[in-house]
Structure 1
């Protein structure tokens, strides 16, 4: 098998303990997963990198039944609260129906291969799965 690379910059794989990292505003503590020149909350421009907890609680979700061609449905899109940081991600390894998914559900970060290129480099994505 070849190298593994994260699908998004804020997914960290290289330490054997996959987790997410965010940019935290030094002034107000707001957290962002994308690159920022200024804080959207207070307009400060200094950030520090922080690791996000790998476990959280589902705060909102929707079961998606229609999507662009080639996207398998149904799937569960969610907002997970990881100790105060809101993470938007799909729920994986769970039946996409209201009998198996609910607000307040405890979940943990899960990684999985998305695909590989001709050199064997594998892209790794993430979602959240039930924390049993």
Structure 2
């Protein structure tokens, strides 16, 4: 896998709960996109098993929509989740995003690794900003302060 970016966060919740935030549509729709982007819960479909597909629609502030899709390549609750991710309906990305969950002081160490694929340096920098906004929202969700 050509690593594009790695983000590590400690989330104040047990690994089972953080893993669930990635695999339960009602949680995923809250944090995916961060505070600025709406993901209608009814657009999130998750068949969380190896080979299962997932979809989600982001409604961005300018009124446009981003249609995300992919498939799960590894599902090992609550330790590891790997899935492909693409916003091009005609594409089927091969290299997965990998998220690991490990017990840590104060909760769970969550590490996301995303392949570079064909992203430019500017796109990678924007992706990093986006994920950090998403994970800020996830932290609020899992702390009960949302």
Using the size of structure 1 for normalisation, the TM-score is: 0.29
As a proportion of its length, which structure holds more strand?
1
As a proportion of its length, which structure holds more helix?
2
| Structure ranking higher on relative contact order (CA contacts 8 Å, 6+ apart) | 2
Using the size of structure 2 for normalisation, the TM-score is: 0.27
